[in-house]
Amino acid sequence: MHSALIGLAVAFLMDLLFGDPPNRFHPVVAMGNVIRYAQKKFNTGSKNQRFLSGLGTVVMGGMLFSLPWLVLVPWINTLPVWAAGLVVGCLLKPVFSFRNLIRAGKEIQQCLKAEDLAAARHLVGWHLVSRDTSQLSKNQVASAAIESLAENITDSFLAPLLFFSIAGLPAAWFYRFVNTADAMIAYHTPELEYFGKTAAILDDILNGLPARLAGIILVISAGFLRFNMKCAWHTMTTQNRRTSSPNAGWTMAAAAGALEVVLEKPGNYRLEGGTQLPDEESIGRGIRLVRLGLVWCLLICGGVLVVAQSIA
């Protein structure tokens, strides 16, 4: 068995057993600090200057967090296969998340079941979404939770592992930096419109294939779980363009159809897999859908890795 395949399995087991590392040790927090520093230091001047500064931030930051692993690859290849797999697994784990994503959904569901709306609003804003959650209704909180669970199957899991399967650790880490930059600076505000443009465009490009693949995976998962597979496919293929992101709509619309609910961000989009907003029971079904989808993602990435290694 190739060390990269062992590394994929080790990273997944580490995530299941331990989740994400503490923030003070998490590389994504370090990425955020780099991006925040660059924004404060270089996001000044004309529109062109801000754009070039944002471009430089993405390129240089991406290289900073990906090239070290490229340098380490020759050393890793000298290790016994099992040892190389352990090293690769430890280096791969920080770029994706499975356990914490599912746990966040469960915690929000429990708060809604206990009718603790304030806590549910806090948790969905803390763990899953960047929007203001202070005025969300119970059903809107459930909607936000399911939307984020569905969207993150791409950003937090499939995409980084797919890039790893195709091009190794440097590609996975470069993707994670771009995606982090997109989450932090790709906003249509006077301050960030041009500084974050490169991150937004590159993130859209990198997530293009993974998002569509993840949407199909959720449709298939709906069939296995005896949810509404037909509605999942129809909603995904007809409503994926309703979101401002060219990619997020694929998985969110598939989830809306599979669960037969409306997923809505007021003033932004409305995905109509049914006629009613979801409730806490819908979150539970959404967790089952996403959890099975994540398992399919892992198996697909393992298959891609085997094929890529056989071709190399």
**pLDDT of res. 55:** 98
50, 43 in Cβ contact below 8 A? yes
- Of 306, 273, 291, 297, the C-alpha closest to 212 is 297
pLDDT, position 132:
84
- 191 phi-psi bin (left φ>0, alpha ψ -120 to 50, beta other): alpha
Lowest mean pLDDT among 10-14, 169-173, 266-270: 266-270
**18-23 long-range Cβ contacts below 8 angstroms, 24+ apart:** 18/99, 19/97, 19/99, 19/100, 19/103, 20/94, 20/97, 20/99, 20/100, 21/94
Q: What is the C-alpha separation between 115 and 262, in angstroms, rounded?
A: 21
Q: Which among 53, 248, 273 has a CA at the least distance from the CA of 154? A: 248
pTM above the 0.75 mark?
A: yes
Check pLDDT > 60 for residue 1.
no
Which DSSP state fits 95?
G
The pLDDT tens digits of the residues spanning 73-121 come to 889 989 999 999 999 999 999 999 989 999 999 999 999 999 999 999 9
Look at residue 64 in the predicted model and tell me its pLDDT: 97
CB of 150 closer than 8 Å to CB of 290: yes
Average pLDDT over residues 270-279: 97
Q: Where are the domains of the chain?
A: 3-311
What distance, in Å, lies between the first and last C-alpha atoms of the chain? 15
Task: For residue range 162-183, list pLDDT tens digits in order.
Answer: 999 999 999 999 999 999 999 9
Residues 299-308 have pLDDT tens digits of 999 999 999 8
